[in-house]
Structure 1
Amino acid sequence: MPELPEVEALAGFLRERLSGRVVAGVEVGALSVLKTVDPPPTALHGLTVTGVARHGTWLDVHVDGPHLLVHLARAGWLRWSAALSAAPLRPSGKSPVALRVRLAPEDGDDPARPPGFDLTEAGTQKRLAVHVVREPTDVAAVAALGPDPLAEDFGPASLAALLAGSRQRVKGLLRDQTVLAGVGNAWSDEVLHAARLSPYAVAGNLAPEEVERLHTCLRDVLGAAVAAAAGRPAAQVAGAGRAAMRVHGRTGQPCPVCGDVVREVSFAERSLQYCPTCQTGGKLLADRRLSRLLK
């Protein structure tokens, strides 16, 4: 699932290409993707894009009025085209394209094939979500987001306040969007490895020096991933930061820090990776499928 670094890079990519452009049309390829009906997607037609922002893992395309809010979920992505197909997008159930946004042509564009982007989704679990709203906080999930770990005012004391008294395991807390916005399964693995913390550590039991280290690693790991993806074409964003991942998705490979074997704990729909030597004092974590420990 695209997380903070990938969504931040996509926001920057779109900001460069959309700001000041007029939306010529919004075409729906999968009715299930639309989670709101008022305003309708047609309310965006003829309006100028004034900015693109990120709220946690949500993309926010702001036009002169409504907001187009997008959550890419597990298998969604954004595909940019300098010359979209002239054929209108039709709901078919066969195409991976769930939504298409066309821009009005400008000088240098092909008038018959203006630029724009598609929102696509692979697989059978359709979770890609598009909301057309007057304010981002009209979407309950956005209104409930916790602080952004890369915000200027998110210091060690801010993190300590979130952890204090929590009986939640630190891996689950980092993934909880109502506690901390933008960090998901992949980057929480990387942050915890860099911080040398067990994913099963109880958040409220972390020592002050561990909290300080976790804060530093949150900022450093996520910041480096954002920098690695920044400025790349949308098609390359997903692989940019993840190419440098040390443990996530690398089960059975040597840890680049200590050389121990990277281990995995599997759950119903996901898995976590960690290094026993770096994070758990050499202890192997029990791999209990369907476990609810990290919910």
Structure 2
Amino acid sequence: MPELPEVAGLAGFLDEHLRGTTVRKVQIVSFAVLKTADPPYTALQDRTVTGVRRFGKFVSLDTDGPSFVFHLARAGWVRFTDSPTDTQLRMGKGHIAARLAFAGEDGPLGMDLTEAGTKKSLAVYVVRDPLDVPGIAALGPDPFSPAFDVGMLAEIIGSSSQQIKGLLRSQSVIAGIGNAYSDEILHAARISPFAIAKSLDRDTVQVLYDAIHSILGTAMAEAEGRPPNELKDAKRSHMRVHARTGQACPVCGDTVREVSFADTALQYCPTCQTKGKILADRRTSKFLK
């Protein structure tokens, strides 16, 4: 799933290439992808793109009329081209969920929203204001907003009995962090993913705050300026523990371990994060005996 750094890179790329273009055509191909009806998606046609913004993991393509907002979910992505075709796509066929065509000073441009797999959760909204999207309205603070300081993080953590891994992933608590970067942040901060949030002392909260900005900031710098087809590989290239089960931790050399759940998994280093203890494979367990 694309998270804050990849979505920021994607929004920046689209803003650079689409700002000032005219929306020539919009095709909604998936039956389930469009979550709104008013205004209709046809209201985007002939509108000028005024910019592209990120809200957590949402991307908002703004025009001088409605905004086209999308969330890529687990398996969605963007395919961008400067050689679009005028092919009329058939509803419910293939992996393309939506297609937008643009007219720019240097010629036509095209953008497809695609989704792999059988579980379809990519979402598109055509709204008068991005804040009309329920998921955006419910977002917690962005880690790079001026208001998000260590005091705010301490307040969030101090009031929660949730495990820290789940808390970091909660979009209503902090916007933009998902499964992959929460693994990386907790590894950098040397915190167990099962640690109860309010049990962390102020020094540990400071370390966590620094890790959030270090991990996400480095990833954002790596993603900046890259086209969409390079962003996934850029994300994978700097992961230390996420999706590296069985490999050596680059910090201490211990074997990276995994805890599996029904539809996801987390990875961690026992030496760096749990004082050598192996976490059980159930969220309600503390440690294997």
TM range (shorter): over 0.9
Q: Does 1:260 align with 2:259?
A: no
The answer to whether the 8 Å contact 1:226/1:241 transfers is no
The code of the aligned residue for 2:134 comes to A
**TM-superposed deviation, 1:158:** 1.2
1:72 aligned residue: 72
Q: Which moved more, 1:270-279 or 1:133-142?
A: 133-142
Deviations along 1:76-132, one digit per CA (max 9) or x if unpaired, are 0000010112212221x33111100100253x42xxxx2110000000001000000
Cα distance in 2, alignment partners of residues 134 and 203 from structure 1: 38
Structure 1 residue 154 displacement after superposition: 1.3
Partners of 2:29 and 2:93 within 8 A in 1: no
What residue is the counterpart of 1:95 in the other structure? 94
Q: In structure 1, what residue type is equivalent to 2:96?
A: V
Runs of 4+ more than 6 Å apart: none
Deviation at 1:67, TM superposition (A): 1.0
Superposition deviation, residue 48 in structure 1: 0.5
- Aligned to 2:208, what secondary structure does the other structure show? helix
Whole-angstrom CA distance in 1 between matches of 2:284 and 2:35: 28
Give distance in 2, aligned partners of 1:230 and 1:86: 30
Match of 1:182 among 176, 182, 190: 176
> 1:95 corresponds to which letter in structure 2?
G
Cα deviation, residue 213, structure 1: 0.2
- Alignment-derived partner of residue 109 in structure 2: 115
Which position in structure 2 is the counterpart of 1:57?
Answer: 57
Q: Is the 8 A contact 2:20 2:104 kept in 1?
A: no
Partner residue, 1:104: 103
Q: How does 1:115-264 map to 2 (within 5 A)?
A: 115-264=109-258
Aligned to 1:276: 270
Report the Cα distance in structure 2 between the residues aligned to 1:213 and 1:70, rounded to whole angstroms.
33
- Range with greater deviation from structure 2 (55-64 or 156-165): 156-165
- 2:31 maps to 1:37: no
Shift of 1:150: 1.6
The DSSP-based 3-state class of the residue aligned with 1:32 is coil
3-state secondary structure, aligned to 1:35? coil
C-alpha displacement of 1:66:
1.1
Aligned counterparts of 1:136 and 1:170: Cα–Cα separation in 2: 29
Gap change, CA 1:61 and 1:292, over 3 Å in 2: farther
Q: CA deviation at 1:242?
A: 2.2
Could you tell me which amino acid in structure 2 is paired with residue 15 of structure 1? D
Q: Which amino acid aligns with 1:16?
A: E
> Once the 2 structures are TM-superposed, how far is the Cα of residue 40 of structure 1 from its aligned partner?
0.9
- Native 8 Å contact 2:38 2:126 kept in 1: yes
Hey, what's the Cα distance between the residues in 2 that align with 1:10 and 1:88?
26
| Alpha-carbon distance between aligned partners in 2 of 1:46 and 1:33, rounded to the nearest angstrom | 22
Instruction: Report the 3-state secondary structure (helix = DSSP H, G, I; strand = E; otherwise coil) of the residue aligned with 1:189.
Output: helix
Equivalent residue of 2:32, what SS?
helix
Task: Determine if contact 1:18/1:49 at 8 Å carries over to the other structure.
Answer: yes
1:3-31 deviation per Cα after TM superposition (whole angstroms, max 9, x unaligned): 10110000001000110111011011112
CA contact (8 A) 1:6 1:237 kept: yes
Q: Give the secondary structure class of the aligned counterpart of 1:221.
A: helix
Deviations 1:191-245 (A, max 9, x none): 0000000000110110111000000000010000010011111100111132110
Q: TM-score, normalised by structure 2?
A: 0.96
1:42 and 1:23 mapped to 2: Cα distance?
10
Letter in 1 for 2:71: H
Q: Distance in 1 between matches of 2:114 and 2:102?
A: 18
Kindly state the Cα deviation for residue 250 of structure 1 after the two structures are TM-superposed: 0.1
Normalising by the residue count of structure 1, what TM-score does the alignment of the two structures yield?
0.94
Q: Deviations over 1:146-172 (max 9, x none)?
A: 000122331111111111121000000
Q: Percent identity?
A: 55
In structure 2, distance between residues paired with 1:31 and 1:241: 30
C-alpha distance in structure 2 between counterparts of 1:140 and 1:118, whole Å: 23
Contact 1:193 1:274 in 2 (8 A): yes
RMSD: 1.1
Structure 2 distance, partners of 1:210, 1:42, is 51
